[in-house]
Amino acid sequence: MNLILDIARTSLPVVIAGGTAVFVVFRMKHKYKKGTLGKKQSKSAQTLLDSLIPLGMMTGCAVAMLLSMFFPITLLFAVGWGPGIGLLLGYVAYEIYSKTGESYS
């Protein structure tokens, strides 16, 4: 019984982060098909917009690894949750930034 709980405790963060990734991919696919992906006029603003989701994942992973060094969180748990939360926050930042300022629409 203890082995089953350990396996569930280890795989649950990866499953939740995977669910978040599937959600973001399907939302971006839906936006692509509708033609409503964010467009910015300047090249640097478009590059930043396109980089928000990967930057969110890298930041989430780095923060999770730092938290696992200073708090009693296992590294596997942190690597499972960190990029998933970063992916979701990067997607939210993408949505907010794509609606602000000048855009092509």
Q: Are 75 and 65 in contact (CB under 8 A)?
A: yes
Domain assignment of residue 104, yes or no: no
Domain assignment of residue 105, yes or no: no
Q: Are 102 and 37 in contact (CB under 8 A)?
A: no
How many domains is the chain partitioned into structurally? 1
For the entire predicted model, the pTM comes to: 0.79
pLDDT tens digits for range 79-104: 888 888 999 999 999 988 888 765 45
Largest distance between two CA atoms of the chain: 58
CB neighbours (10 Å) of residue 34? 8
| Average pLDDT over the chain, rounded to an integer | 86
Q: Which residues of 2-14 are buried (b: 16+ CB within 10 A; e: fewer)?
A: eeeeeeeeeeebb
Domain assignment of residue 13, yes or no: yes
pLDDT tens digits for range 53-87: 999 999 999 999 999 999 988 887 788 888 889 99
